[in-house]
Amino acid sequence: MDALRMLIELFPAAIVAGVALAAVCAALGVFVILKRMVFIGAVLSEVAGAGLAGAMVLGLPPLAGAATLTMAAGLAFSRPFETARIPRDALLGTLFAAAGALAILLAARTGLGLEEVKALLYGDLILTRGSDLVAILGGGVPVAAVLLLCLRPIVYAFLDREAARLLGVPVARWEAAFFLGLALVIAVASRAAGAMLIFAYLVIPSSASLLLSRRLRVCMALSAGIAVAATLAGLYASLVWDLPTNQLTVAFLALSLPVAGLVAARRRGGTRTGAS
């Protein structure tokens, strides 16, 4: 109880930011998985890190640099690549390597110490500042609201492009809007969460939820719930065990996937038994 009281009293910004980031990223991650663009979360996170470091070198607001580069990359990868000579994954891999290297090189030019560079590039959720919380809520909440309000056209655009066109849905616009929103969320999350935690939020809980349900709204709710639970567990355990918050949160997220797999397998087994 002492650790829980300490967490609530000393790190309220980390709790609110963690819950908001977990819920929004996990809900967005369902669409990332359905679109089969799993790697884009890691790539945009590295781009955000390069934007942060570049802005600091130039004496600009770090968030502005992260948002500008990340949203530009998100918009570039929102276009269809079916007819391109080079597949999207190859370009994503190239950008991932280049942005990661550039982020380290630019961070070295800022004159920061090793620990400060690590904090800049990899984040530490429990050390979320008030300014980070404002950015996360200001960027994440509107994106989540738009996603929920415009769920139908986004689903059509992602799952059945031809049917969407027949219904008059502007597929390219909705895909661009989704990836711009995703990029904005990753940009505002980059300082607090870092690349690894953002990638885990996007991929792991959404994968677990898709094992448990085929209904989109249920998957989004399950994904957000799994991510929030893992985040709160990670924050609490980091105080109790004196271990890094982000890595603990990723570990708890990773546990959700085999658990969801076991539940799904048991459910299938029960269904077969009942049918026989």
All structural domains of the chain with their residue ranges: 2-275
Rg (CA), the chain: 19
pLDDT of residue 13: 92
Query: What pLDDT does residue 22 have?
Result: 95
**pLDDT reported for residue 206:** 94
Confidence at residue 121, expressed as pLDDT on a 0 to 100 scale: 63
CATH class of 2-275: mainly alpha
CA distances from 78 to 49, 71, 82, 93, 214 (A): 20, 10, 12, 15, 25
pLDDT score recorded for residue 236: 94
Q: Which residues of the chain have pLDDT under 70?
A: 1, 81-84, 111-122, 270-276
The model carries a pTM of: 0.87
Contacts of 162 (CB under 8 A, 6+ apart): none
CB of 221 closer than 8 Å to CB of 169: no
The tens digit of pLDDT for each residue in 15-54 reads 999 999 999 999 999 988 888 888 888 888 888 888 888 8
User: What does the block give as tokens for 68?
Assistant: 């500008």
Q: Output the pLDDT for position 268.
A: 78
